[in-house]
A and B are shown apart, each in its own frame.
Chain A
Amino acid sequence: MTPATIALIGELALKYGPPLALKFAELFEKKDVTLADFNAVFALADKSYASYVAPKPTAT
């Protein structure tokens, strides 16, 4: 992991918190990728706008 990558991860951690920074860190552990890896990423972008702004279900 290069210093530039660490700096990027640091910026993201400051803005969005550790979960996203950890995701980025995981990216750099991968040495080989498959179409399934790509598809998992594409699935994120398939989420509809409505799903992001929909009311969250309350615990009962």
Chain B
Amino acid sequence: MNLDLAALLQSLHLPDDVVATVMHITSTLFALVMLVRTFRGPIVKSLTWAADRFDDMAGHGREDGAMLLAIVDSRIYRVIWFLTEYLFRLHLPTRASLEARWKILETHEALNSQPTEGVPLGALAGLLLLIPFLFTACGSPKLAAFRSVSAVAHTVDASMNAWGDWVRAGKATPDSEARVEAAYVKYQAAMAVVKSGVVAAEGQPADSPAYLAVPAALSAAASDLIALIDQFAPPEKR
């Protein structure tokens, strides 16, 4: 999507601070929409679970009901807490960040359109996409890059280990194996690009901009891979 909101605003000859404010608000709204979409599955699942438990508990004591409410509240608060923290800590108002968020929204639209079996498909994959944005808000670019790359690598490794168990259990079809393998190879290629970038940046200061370009493509490839594994090997059946 060719989004050029900044150029549009500048063509209106608005003051720079007005442009920056509009960009900030717009970007924040995009981020909010993205996160609500990401966590839509867990939120709906939590509420459905709560409704079922209330039905089960009809006629039981008030203490059980109070405990249940506390559990549901804690889940919802956790999501709200995450959203609030995310929105207030990120460096939002740039054209690049807007375009990145559009891309993430489109990716999630594709993920959410895939068939699921009641699993919040894309929830973790969505988290992976958020990782570059989460971690760029803390420490030097080099440290943020390391945390991002490491978080993605460990998550993919755990997911692939789960996939390996699934395959060894004889539950994977040849087609699903071929597709996961292809996605894994694509992820490895993205990681190789990151590796060459890190090696090239070695020796530069930790706050060098060379580290800033690291993880977006990598987390997208990892997200695709994990979404595929979740599709073929639903977590609740592993």
Taking beta carbons and an 8 Å cutoff, which residues of A are in contact with B? 2-5, 7-8, 10-12, 15-16, 19-20, 23-24, 27-28, 30-33, 35, 37-38, 41-42, 44-47, 49, 52-56
Name the distance in Å between A53's Cβ and chain B's nearest Cβ: 4
Quick one: given A53-B164, A53-B168, are A42 and B146 in contact (CB under 8 Å)?
no
Q: Which of B134, B147, B149, B154 contacts A4 (CB 8 A)?
A: B134
B85 with A2: CB separation less than 8 A: yes
Q: Which 5 A-B pairs have the closest CB atoms?
A: A45-B191, A52-B164, A7-B82, A4-B85, A53-B167
B85 with A3: CB separation less than 8 A: yes
The distance in angstroms between the C-alpha atoms of A25 and B235, with both chains bound, is 23
Q: Which of A30, A47, A49 contacts B181 (CB 8 A)?
A: A49
* A-B pairs with beta carbons under 8 A, tally: 107
**In the assembled complex, which residues on chain A have CB atoms less than 8 Å from the CB atom of B157?**
44, 47
The distance in angstroms between the C-alpha atoms of A50 and B77, with both chains bound, is 42
A27 with B168: CB separation less than 8 A: no
**In the assembled complex, which residues on chain B have CB atoms less than 8 Å from the CB atom of A27?**
146-147, 150-151
